[in-house]
Amino acid sequence: MRHGRALRTRRIRRSRHRAGAAVVAMGAVAALLGPLVPAWAAAPAAAAAPAYLDAGKPTARRVADLLGRMTLEEKIGQMTQAERAAVADDPGKVKTQLLGSLLSGGGSTPAQNTPAAWVEMVNGFQEQALQTRLKIPLIYGIDAVHGHGNVHGATVFPHNVGLGATRDAKLSERIGRATAEEVRATGIPWNFAPCLCVSRDERWGRSYESFSEDPALVSRMATVIDGLQGDGGREGFDDDEVLATAKHFAGDGGTRFDTATAEANKSKPWWEQKYTIDQGVTVTGKGDFARRHLAPYLPALADHRVGSVMPSFSSVDWTEDGVGNPVKMHAHRDLLTGTLKGKLGFDGFVISDWEGIHQIPDPDAPAETGLTPYKVRTGVNAGTDMFMEPNTSQQFQDLLLAEVKAGRVPQKRIDDAVGRILAKKFELGLFEDPYASPDDLDQVGSREHRALARSAAAKSQVLLKNSGRALPLGTKDSVYVAGRSADDIGNQAGGWTISWQGASGDIVPGTTILEGIREVAPRADVTYSADASAPVGDADVGVVVVGETPYAEGYGDVDGPECGWCGTSQHEEKSLNLQAADQAVVDKVCAEAETCVVLVVSGRPQIVADPAGRIDALVASWLPGSEGAGVADVLFGKKPFTGRLPVTWPAGADQVPINVGDADYRPEYPYGWGLRTGSHGVAADPATAALDRAQAAVLAGRAPSNWAELIADAEHARVAGDEVKARGLLARVR
């Protein structure tokens, strides 16, 4: 029995590879009812149903049969994905355009953002698809990147950077499982996750979507795919599993920061500013690219059998042929077809990112930012199978139809793309069960899932500093809590929550960190002052919760564009240094409190100034999600601190980019650093114990000057499976 299902005995799970029994049963019912059965239901007795409608036949046979019946227009329809909002006012477009897929972008929801409304909406669109000649069902997709964050009431898990801090591959799988249950419960069978990016520069606005700067750790956490897909990658999907998407193939986390763009942005209004690192260029040799950015895709494909892959917006510029000729990933036939589908043997389908082919440069129309015939044929011939064309689906279809008829896109390429898409629709059981059931809506935000999210939040906390054993706190202490993120669930959830960019404030159900403190330590005397304007008084300890406000993608780039349409708190300039107002709260509380604890709620490291050494404990809380009580659990010792840094914590913003393996590696805290508190009776494994001893030597001033390099290299070795090497490196620290 899978996680979260022990008490759900009322539910009958429909195993897709056994669905053929339903066809037999229907035939028996028709024989019994005789003339009472409508003519269409009795038809199979007179003529055999098409092979593609026979769930008992192999998927390959069903695909071949359906392909042979389809017109070119129908095939192109299957390759087209439109945005929900583009057809919401006229759902009939699904039928007239023969659309194969719809999606909800961040913040694109039904009018009433409830789980039941999602089911009704998806089924309404599906009804249109089933009115087409061949009745090919839609496949609906969504970005559920840290739980089903678009849906109000869903469980919001920590973002990937926090999960990377847990080092817990089984936890990653369980979170994938819970996410799949909530996504499928709302009628959606396809998730645009996980991000297998290897973030190498914290100035990137998507760095929190990365599990780590270390490809070995990203590879380890790819078990989330097994949670999302279950056995679907091998045996067909059950109705509480979803198709996963490994993204963004490849090198999205390795793009170079554009200093010229950053400087130009300073004199422009926000709507003219450009991204400084997101969607940029990864300049690299082919060997480094394979070892660093392709590496996580190897287990994703071979071990976890991920069903779809999304190319990156970014470009790659090989150093072997000279820098200066980058190729957009959406146009990179060698990587998409030659490497992904060829050498790596990927047999799922490739879905473009949002208007991804629009960014392919057209040599005949370099100023054109929309679609052109060149962009369409280049994207298709490069190897993308389905195209996310949110508001230009009809134009895409017209252009592709003309390119095929002109012979510039081979019919064989179209059949390959459509065959891959249809195979996943068959495996998902969409032909047998196209409509979503409301029976499992209680899975959304369930008690079991929230308990899992709380546990994940606790495991993700990284204790960077703990002078005088300031943590854990006493449950009867007098606690002064300050900071704008202490009682702000929107800040702790981050981007991709309810809307694309997220928002500060009370946007989702759950518990804030302050509420968690009061829940976990009900006998503590808790005073709260967001801006620290209230006197600290004789409080035993001050807890300051500061950090970043929500952002996503390029609007989170350091020195990038301001999100002008977002809430006021999100207008602040993105930086690796703590915001001035936050720093002022830290300074005030830590100057007055006997013991001062600072929690940094952020998607990336933040430089917290402490020249007087008044901060006793410093915690990287990341973006813990909707269950802030998990943070309080470790603050008060209900659970131990066990998290380790998934990325390097720089000593200053001028050190970035800085990563494990760099030649001159002297950060504030190295990759893998993380102090532990009470073991709760669980003995540390040898590698963890060795790291504890090494960190103790650093804190005691006994470590060699290259201690940070040794600890980071040891952690990389340990995560990669070489514990002997890891212990040898750590032995040199003490």
Residues with catalytic roles: 353, 553
CB burial of 404-421 (b: ≥16 within 10 Å; e: otherwise) equals: beeebbeeebbbbbbbbb
Are 575 and 558 contacting, i.e. CB atoms less than 8 angstroms apart? yes
- Region at 57 (left for phi over 0; alpha for psi -120 to 50; beta for the rest): beta
Q: Is 514 exposed, middle or buried (0-12, 13-18, 19+ CB in 10 A)?
A: buried
Which tokens go with 703?
Answer: 């470590």
Distance in angstroms (rounded) separating the CA atoms of residues 308 and 191:
9
Which residues are CB-contacts of 624 (< 8 A; sequence separation ≥ 6)?
A: 158, 162, 457, 460, 461, 492, 513, 601, 630, 631
Distance in angstroms (rounded) separating the CA atoms of residues 185 and 115:
8
Half-sphere exposure of 269 (CA within 13 A, CB side): 3
Which tokens go with 402?
Answer: 């003309």
What would you report as the CA-atom Rg of the chain, rounded to the nearest whole angstrom? 26
> Of 298, 160, 199, 281, whose CA–CA distance to 647 is shortest?
199
Helices (H), 149-258: 160-166, 169-185, 215-220, 224-229, 232-235
Which tokens go with 385?
Answer: 């199978």
Distance in angstroms (rounded) separating the CA atoms of residues 560 and 204:
9
The sheet that has 349-350: what strands, in order across it?
Answer: 245-249, 308-311, 349-350
Helices (H), 34-153: 39-46, 59-69, 72-78, 84-87, 93-96, 115-129
Give Cα separations from 51 to 44, 64, 279, 376, 507 (angstroms).
Answer: 12, 9, 44, 32, 48
- Residue 605 sits at the vertex; the CA angle it makes with 469 and 672, to the nearest 5 degrees, is 60
| AA identity, residue 241 | E
With residues binned 3-state (H G I as helix, E B as strand, rest as coil), the percentages for the chain, rounded to 5, are 40, 10, 45
> C-alpha 67: how far from its chain's center?
33
Crossing angle for the helix pair 169-185 and 447-460, to the nearest 10 degrees: 150
Which residues are CB-contacts of 336 (< 8 A; sequence separation ≥ 6)?
A: 249, 311, 329, 350, 382, 383, 384
Are 425 and 137 contacting, i.e. CB atoms less than 8 angstroms apart? yes
Helices then strands, each counted (H, E), the chain? 27, 17
Are 659 and 715 contacting, i.e. CB atoms less than 8 angstroms apart? no
Distance in angstroms (rounded) separating the CA atoms of residues 181 and 378:
37
Distance in angstroms (rounded) separating the CA atoms of residues 313 and 310:
9
